[in-house]
């Protein structure tokens, strides 16, 4: 037993949880803990330039490794700046622990300097949160925070740290430490999986819908194996991109609002959906009443509250994606079952070919889909790609080749502009030997451009592929489509010179205006040991991606340029 300060108890808990990196910014109320980091060489502190960046960097680290990312800010604005990243992690089930400084306990509620009710503000956007009441809780609560964050369906946990709880002493006895008990899921019986196997192998028109839960459970291998055994096409949500390699012949691609026509029509016409680790958000289903009207849905999710939340299901199974897929594969092997080629599979294949978009072009300004195609040509298999949010993101989710799970990081549920650059920093810290690329838009990048300085200062080499269209193109597409083309606040009147901006922050950069220059510029970036910006001029308004109007029917897409119209009736009947 040793007597230590609360702040040291937190650091000891971080060490015992094998946390090696913390992304943060100090401030008055955070200093007792920061002073302990000064004395602790086994935890690397990455000094971010904005707390939103700290939270996203922790997310990037966590999304790549599947372990808890840690971020920190001071009280008041330091904590509120973290909020966007915490909310983002909550929406996409990312395990992060956020530490926030707080005014001393005796000043709580006195409107003290930099006092915000961080605990209250973060209640609805955390999986759980703590406010330390006494130094004795520091070690226990911090370790519990890690345990809660990573268990079951992962999510963010926040610990608010009143200054007095960090400076007060307590007796630490690590030998008697135990996590506070967590709820456990009952095991699912083999009979249940046997029933699932009977349904999917007897289905005439089966589809698999994979969500982020497959990525989180590291079940990409099992997903691919089941798809091959069942000879079944796999639709993916954007958080599942890479769970089955996008180049796999059974990987049909993205579902929903900006999905592929073949996916939306296949889902509308299939008779069984095996949905794994997805929450059927509005971006996936569109008009619920028209979603998969002919299908029995088998929904597997680790979170019981997701079953039946958004769509009615035939069967709900509460377990993690890996356990479920392994069990299904085991039963199928025992029954010696295999999917059969039939008319349905041929039709899906034909439709897949028919609706493929032509993304090769040498137009100027360069088309965004062409930029993604050119990036595909030079992207190493082990590259980690992050995106911001907007048009560039949807082009990336639609057209980018991703061969491994956890190699494509994007802000899905929250749709947070400014996610990609700090997430790329976190990803590169987590996987220093893999190239990391942020596919970015100018609207998003300028929201977090200060983090270029973070990457430069910490020698974190990144390539930023900037699809520069001088505005918020996806919002412009909505204005054009739904508001008779009235554009407001979606164009930048004066263009920022992003290369000069990057250079002023210590990075390197070049401008690209021709398709033929993209591959070379990207290679230069990836081979550089610096932060390298490739500023690619692209068309300001380009309805290049198909779109389902909000809450419209998924089968009634407004088509993007150069994406041929496919006929839904092609699918009717057998």
Partner 1 sequence: MENKTVKVTIKDSVGALPRVIQIFARRGFAIEEIHAISKENNKEVTIVFPADDYIKKIVLGQLNKLNDSIEVIEVQ
Query: Site residues (CB under 8 A) for partner 1?
Result: 119-120, 123-124, 127-131, 133, 148, 182-183, 303-305, 308-309
Q: How far is the CB of 104 from partner 1 (least distance, A)?
A: 16
Torsion of CA 181, 99, 17, 34, to 10 degrees: -140
- Residue (159 or 424) nearer to partner 1, CB: 159
Please check whether residue 253 is in contact with residue 270, taking contact to mean a CB–CB distance below 8 angstroms.
Answer: no
Report the C-alpha gap between 254 and 399 in whole angstroms: 9
Q: How far is the CB of 275 from partner 1 (least distance, A)?
A: 18
User: 518 phi and psi, to 5 degrees?
Assistant: -65, -50
CA distances to 131, 363, 413, 437 from 360, rounded to whole Å, are 54, 9, 30, 21
- Residue (109 or 249) nearer to partner 1, CB: 109
Q: How far is the CB of 147 from partner 1 (least distance, A)?
A: 10
Q: How far is the CB of 128 from partner 1 (least distance, A)?
A: 4
- Residue (38 or 183) nearer to partner 1, CB: 183
Angle at which helices 343-354 and 261-269 cross, to 10° = 160
Q: How far is the CB of 110 from partner 1 (least distance, A)?
A: 18
SS3 398: helix
Q: In what helix (H) or strand (E) does residue 256 lie, and over which residues does it extend?
A: none
Q: How far is the CB of 75 from partner 1 (least distance, A)?
A: 16
Vertex 316, ends 308 and 93: CA angle to 5°? 70
- Residue (35 or 303) nearer to partner 1, CB: 303
- Residue (147 or 458) nearer to partner 1, CB: 147
Q: How far is the CB of 117 from partner 1 (least distance, A)?
A: 10
Report the C-alpha gap between 417 and 241 in whole angstroms: 19
CB burial of 521-559 (b: ≥16 within 10 Å; e: otherwise) equals bbeebbeeebbbbbbbbbbebbbbbbbbeeeebbbebeb
- Residue (40 or 303) nearer to partner 1, CB: 303
Which letter does DSSP use for residue 174 in this model? G
- Residue (98 or 383) nearer to partner 1, CB: 98
- DSSP sequence for 413-428: SS--TT-HHHHHHHHH
Q: How far is the CB of 415 from partner 1 (least distance, A)?
A: 18
Please name which of 333, 288, 241 lies closest in space to residue 554, comparing C-alpha atoms: 288
Please name which of 384, 432, 431, 434 lies closest in space to residue 409, comparing C-alpha atoms: 384
Please check whether residue 51 is in contact with residue 73, taking contact to mean a CB–CB distance below 8 angstroms.
Answer: yes
- Residue (34 or 130) nearer to partner 1, CB: 130
Q: How far is the CB of 68 from partner 1 (least distance, A)?
A: 15
- Residue (157 or 210) nearer to partner 1, CB: 157
């Amino acid at each position: 037993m040793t007597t230590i300060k609360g702040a040291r108890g937190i650091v000891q808990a971080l060490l015992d949880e094998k946390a090696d990196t913390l992304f943060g910014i100090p401030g008055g109320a955070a200093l007792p803990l920061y002073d302990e980091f000064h004395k602790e060489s086994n935890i690397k502190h990455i000094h971010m330039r904005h707390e939103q960046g700290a939270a996203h960097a922790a997310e990037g680290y966590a999304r790549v490794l599947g372990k808890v990312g840690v971020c920190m800010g001071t009280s008041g604005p330091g904590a509120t700046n973290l909020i966007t990243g915490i909310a983002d992690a909550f929406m996409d089930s990312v395990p992060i622990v956020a530490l926030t400084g707080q005014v001393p306990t005796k000043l709580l509620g006195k409107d003290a300097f930099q006092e915000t009710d961080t605990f209250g503000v973060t209640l609805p956007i955390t999986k759980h949160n703590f406010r330390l009441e006494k130094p004795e809780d520091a070690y226990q609560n911090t370790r519990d925070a890690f345990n809660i964050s990573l268990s079951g369906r992962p999510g963010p946990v926040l610990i608010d740290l009143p200054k007095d709880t960090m400076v007060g002493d307590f007796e630490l006895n690590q030998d008697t430490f135990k996590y506070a008990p967590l709820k456990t899921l009952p095991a699912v019986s083999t009979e249940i999986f046997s029933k699932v196997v009977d349904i999917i192998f007897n289905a005439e028109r089966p589809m698999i819908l994979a969500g982020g839960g497959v990525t989180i459970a590291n079940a990409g291998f099992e997903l691919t194996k089941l798809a091959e055994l069942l000879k079944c096409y796999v639709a993916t949500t954007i958080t599942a991109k890479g769970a089955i390699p996008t180049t796999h012949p059974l990987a049909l691609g993205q579902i929903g609002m900006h999905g592929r026509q073949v996916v939306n029509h296949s889902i509308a016409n299939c008779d069984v959906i095996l949905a794994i680790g997805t929450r059927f958000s509005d971006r996936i289903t569109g008009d619920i009443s028209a979603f998969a009207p002919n299908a029995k849905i088998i929904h597997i999710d680790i979170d019981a509250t997701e079953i039946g939340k958004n769509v009615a299901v035939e069967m709900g199974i509460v377990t993690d994606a890996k356990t479920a897929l392994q069990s299904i594969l085991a039963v199928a092997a025992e029954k010696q079952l295999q999917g059969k080629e039939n008319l349905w599979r041929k039709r899906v294949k034909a439709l897949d070919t028919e609706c493929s978009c032509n993304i090769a072009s040498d137009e100027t300004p360069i088309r965004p889909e062409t930029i993604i195609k050119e990036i595909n040509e030079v992207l190493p298999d082990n590259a980690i790609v992050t995106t911001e949010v907007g048009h560039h993101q949807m082009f990336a989710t639609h057209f980018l080749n991703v061969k491994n799970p956890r190699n494509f990081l994007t802000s899905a549920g929250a749709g947070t502009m400014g996610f990609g650059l700090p997430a790329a920093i976190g990803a590169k810290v987590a996987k220093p030997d893999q190239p990391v690329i942020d596919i970015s838009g100018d609207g998003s990048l300028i929201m977090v451009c200060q983090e270029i300085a973070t990457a430069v200062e910490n020698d974190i080499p990144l390539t930023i592929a900037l699809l520069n269209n001088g505005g918020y193109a996806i919002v412009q597409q909505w204005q054009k489509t739904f508001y008779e083309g009235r554009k407001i606040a979606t164009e930048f009147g004066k263009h920022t010179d992003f290369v000069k901006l990057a250079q002023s922050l210590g990075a390197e950069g070049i401008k690209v205006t021709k398709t033929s220059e993209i591959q070379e510029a990207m290679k230069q970036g990836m081979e550089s040991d610096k932060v390298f910006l490739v500023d690619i001029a692209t068309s300001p308004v380009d309805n290049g991606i198909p779109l389902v109007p909000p809450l419209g029917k998924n089968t009634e897409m407004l088509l993007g340029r150069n994406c041929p119209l496919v006929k839904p009736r092609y699918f009717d009947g057998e």
